[in-house]
Amino acid sequence: MPKVTYIEHNGTTHEIEVPTGENVMRGALYNNVEGIVGECGGALSCATCHCYVDEAWMDKVGGPSSDTESELLEQASAEVKPNSRLSCQIDMSDALDGLIVHLPESQY
């Protein structure tokens, strides 16, 4: 099963197995990772699943998957950077095994 490493703002690291086809937001929620809220449950309407994709993974993960994701990111409470994504829009695959995401200090 592919793994994702979540790095909280304070440096706490969680290496979690996230099933293929599941998204990065749920991987965090189901494993009590602090720093991702996922208020809308992945319906692409809240921006509380904001994360920063590690630079080394940006080519594989890519930018926002839709105009809606881009627009929602603009409403994220933490600073939006070129590597910002909404984690509910990143679906796990074997190609993303080892993915590293950094979490903002707060989602509000």
Query: Which spans of this chain sit near ligand FES (rule: CB under 6 A)?
Result: 25, 38-40, 42, 44-49, 72, 86, 88
Count other C-beta atoms under 10 Å from residue 104's C-beta: 20
Which amino acid is it at 41? G
| Closest to 64 in 3D by CA, of 43, 85, 93 | 85
Residue ranges of the alpha helices (H) in 7-66?
24-29, 58-61
DSSP β-bridge partners for residue 99: 4
